[in-house]
Structure 1
């Protein structure tokens, strides 16, 4: 059964007493853990992008946030207290546009179906008076059993992207803000610009003026027009380091599309090669 990939604050309130509910705070930034300790949604456990959701090495090989080894991620899920029966809800402080969507993609890619991202993230939940707490929360450790040995959602690598840049049947989608795509500014990576023949569909276009996901119907119409009848296997999404691109994959799942290819290395890897 396909479960919706987005959950609203009022829906989270309704299931807040479910025994299998596990809530995770995946905000990022240099003071992310400190901010989490000051205030987070009730019972939420902190997840670190750099250590739990990536295995950082040389950005030239895999980008700034390459995926961890599949087996290591399975161990991480157990340490976080997630098992096959867990009802997982994820949020961050950027409308799910940062590590919240990345964690969602990774859980879906190990075969975990019951995982949703909180619409509007931390700020919107607070504005709706959702209960908050402080300190460091945790869930009892479990053992996560996956029937798979490798990631189950489609990915491509730098050589595949190079081929796609020279094949008009492919659509390479850059979800960074337009100024980074155009090479006007580059606050993170060494070189400004974009992958040849990539088209820009900023992740922010998935959201309305309140920072909530647009309706599935609106998103479906916008992306259907953009895709021009391409199959999902001919579509590649990327961003700076394979994190924010997952926000657009989340939006596509929300809108009823098959999840297309993710290029995890993204501009951070491409620009260094």
Structure 2
């Protein structure tokens, strides 16, 4: 199954499909109520797809929720192992949409797709939005494994960033990677040895993913001959990195890992920091 689905695909609005609208930010619910796809369940990045860390130095700003909590959330949304799930957000899948796709895949749910282009694709197509909250019928706890798969912790990243046969990709904007500015975390710069590939480079001007062929070229330029399983992708807090991991899946590159803690964790642990100025 392709990780992407188009708004014109009738499965998006099939009554059997579980449609989830993921929003981020303090006014997430208000934006959802202002307009969402009919029968889309409201979800939030901060409350449903992350835990609330006491210290971002351990797990970053958006650590994954405990597996028991995620199982309860999936059950509340009515998701079972047989469910076809379609997710989207209002940021071209760069925020919550791709994060939820990755989380579901990480716990073994393969029947999940992301709406290509997100909410904008729907409005561009003339889909009439709903302003009524949709409340799904809950099911029991979703059966999930004992851990999230395809993750890398800070210790693995330390080693991978120095290894010739591994690649660490930082998908933040170039000015953050180079250390010119840092709007969210305490220190500007990047992990020494990490390469930069801004996540939005995978998008067309319309906000949809490039073709699988174009994406394959883009990512191959970054990873070369390194095996996908030896690639680690990160961002600021493990969210937009999932957008790149989704693009890689669409390009046929399966198996790269997510460094969930990302720069928000690394930069709070008194570790080496590279910038354009220091040349590390």
Q: What is the TM-score when the length of structure 1 is the normalising length?
A: 0.95
Partner of 2:77: 80
SS in 2 for 1:76: helix
Equivalent in 52, 60, 66 of residue 57 of structure 2: 60
Partner of 2:190: 194
Equivalent in 235, 238, 253 of residue 239 of structure 1: 235
- Structure 1 residue runs of 4+, over 4 Å off? none
SS in 2 for 1:129: coil
What is the distance in 2 between the residues matched to 1:147 and 1:189? 32
Change in CA separation of 1:245 and 1:38 when aligned onto 2, cut-off 3 Å:
same
Deviates more, 1:79-88 or 1:57-66: 79-88
What is the distance in 1 between the residues matched to 2:144 and 2:92? 31
What is the distance in 1 between the residues matched to 2:127 and 2:153? 40
What is the distance in 1 between the residues matched to 2:113 and 2:82? 14
Partner of 1:180: 176
Contact 2:195 2:222 in 1 (8 A): no
Equivalent in 237, 240, 245 of residue 249 of structure 1: 245
Change in CA separation of 1:66 and 1:147 when aligned onto 2, cut-off 3 Å:
closer
Contact 2:71 2:144 in 1 (8 A): no
What is the distance in 1 between the residues matched to 2:252 and 2:51? 31
What is the distance in 1 between the residues matched to 2:262 and 2:13? 39
Measured on the aligned residues, the alpha-carbon RMSD in Å equals 1.3
What is the distance in 1 between the residues matched to 2:227 and 2:246? 17
Q: Confirm whether residue 123 of structure 1 aligns to residue 145 of structure 2.
A: no
Contact 1:71 1:149 in 2 (8 A): no
Contact 1:111 1:146 in 2 (8 A): no
Show structure 1 runs of 5+ residues with no match: none
Equivalent in 102, 105, 118 of residue 105 of structure 1: 102
Partner of 2:15: 19
What is the distance in 2 between the residues matched to 1:159 and 1:176? 21
Partner of 1:7: 5
SS in 2 for 1:91: strand
What is the distance in 2 between the residues matched to 1:171 and 1:243? 19
1:246 is displaced (CA, Å) by: 0.2
What is the distance in 2 between the residues matched to 1:265 and 1:17? 35
SS in 2 for 1:132: coil
Equivalent in 170, 181, 199 of residue 203 of structure 1: 199
Q: Confirm whether residue 136 of structure 1 aligns to residue 138 of structure 2.
A: no
Contact 1:101 1:247 in 2 (8 A): yes
SS in 1 for 2:52: coil
What is the distance in 1 between the residues matched to 2:18 and 2:145? 22
Question: What is the CA deviation profile of residues 209-232 of structure 1, one whole-angstrom value per residue up to 9, with x for unaligned ones?
Answer: 111100001111221232111012
What is the distance in 2 between the residues matched to 1:179 and 1:17? 40
What is the distance in 2 between the residues matched to 1:200 and 1:177? 8
SS in 2 for 1:186: coil
Alignment of 1:153-172 (within 5 A): 154-172=150-168
